Amino acid sequence: MRIFTILIITVVLAFADGESIVKYAAVIFRHGDRTPVEPYPTDPWKNESLWPVRFGQLTNLGIRQHYALGGMLRKRYSMLISEKFDPQEVYVRSTDVDRTLMSAQANLAGMYPPSGDAIWNPNLMWRPIPIHTLPETEDEVLAMKRNCDTYNVKKKAYINTDEYKTRLSKFQGLMNLLTLYTGKKIEDYEDINEIYNTLLVESIHDFTLPKWAQLLYPDKLRGPSCYSFTTATATPIMARLMTGPLLKEIVGKMNTVITKENPNPLKLSIYSGHDFTIGNVLNAMGLYDGNCPVYTATIFFELMQEKSTMNYYVQMVYRNSTGTAEPYILDIPDCGQMCPFDRFVELYSNLVDVDWHTECRYQIPWLTEALFALEMLVLFFLLYTLYYMRVRAGEESKRRSQPVYTIPIKEDNNNLV
Considering Cα of 244, then 245, then 246, then 251, what sign does the dihedral take? Answer: positive
CA distance 315 to 19: 13
Residue 275 catalytic? Answer: yes
Q: Rounded mean pLDDT of the chain?
A: 90
Nearest C-alpha neighbor of 106 from the set 131, 136, 81: 131
Q: CA angle, corner 225, sides to 223 and 228, nearest 5?
A: 110
Indicate whether 220 and 266 sit together in one domain. Answer: yes
CA distance 278 to 202: 22
Identify the helix (H) or strand (E) that includes residue 23: strand 20-30
40 C-beta neighbours (distance < 10 Å), count: 19
416, part of any domain:
no
**Total domain count for the chain?**
2
Indicate whether 284 and 311 sit together in one domain. Answer: yes
Q: Among residues 17, 31, 219, 357, which one is catalytic?
A: 31
pLDDT value of position 54: 98
Higher pLDDT, 262 or 99: 99
407, part of any domain:
no
Provide the pLDDT confidence category of residue 377 given band limits of 50, 70 and 90: confident
Provide the pLDDT confidence category of residue 164 given band limits of 50, 70 and 90: very high
pLDDT tens, 12-71?
Answer: 333 344 589 999 999 999 999 999 999 999 999 999 999 999 999 999 999 999 999 999
417, part of any domain:
no
For residue 381, pLDDT over 90 is answered with no
Give the CATH number of the domain where residue 179 resides.
3.40.50.1240
CB 286 within 8 A of CB 333: yes
For residue 413, pLDDT over 70 is answered with no
Nearest C-alpha neighbor of 335 from the set 322, 324, 345: 345
For residue 155, pLDDT over 60 is answered with yes
Q: What φ, ψ does residue 30 adopt, rounded to 5°?
A: -90, 155
CA distance 10 to 198: 58
pLDDT value of position 399: 64
Give mean pLDDT, residues 226-236: 98
pLDDT value of position 400: 62
404, part of any domain:
no
How would DSSP label each residue in 101-133?
A: HHHHHHHHHHH----GGG-S-TT--------B-
Higher pLDDT, 372 or 108: 108
Q: Among residues 33, 43, 191, 275, which one is catalytic?
A: 275
Q: CA angle, corner 337, sides to 335 and 341, nearest 5?
A: 60
Q: What is the CA radius of gyration of the chain?
A: 32
pLDDT tens, 271-300?
Answer: 999 999 999 999 999 999 999 999 999 999
Indicate whether 124 and 273 sit together in one domain. Answer: yes
CA distance 280 to 30: 12
Give the residue numbers spanning the domain of 186.
Answer: 2-357
pLDDT value of position 16: 42
Give mean pLDDT, residues 99-118: 96
Give mean pLDDT, residues 379-405: 68
Indicate whether 75 and 212 sit together in one domain. Answer: yes
Give mean pLDDT, residues 252-279: 96
Provide the pLDDT confidence category of residue 371 given band limits of 50, 70 and 90: low
317 three-state secondary structure: strand
Q: CA angle, corner 58, sides to 118 and 266, nearest 5?
A: 45
Indicate whether 244 and 382 sit together in one domain. Answer: no
Indicate whether 353 and 391 sit together in one domain. Answer: no
Q: Which letter does DSSP use for residue 326 in this model?
A: P
Question: Considering the chain, what percentage of its residues have pLDDT values greater than 70?
Answer: 86
366, part of any domain:
no
Indicate whether 379 and 351 sit together in one domain. Answer: no
Q: For the chain, first and last CA: distance in Å?
A: 149
Indicate whether 102 and 75 sit together in one domain. Answer: yes
413, part of any domain:
no
122, part of any domain:
yes
pLDDT value of position 370: 52
Residue 98 catalytic? Answer: no
20, part of any domain:
yes
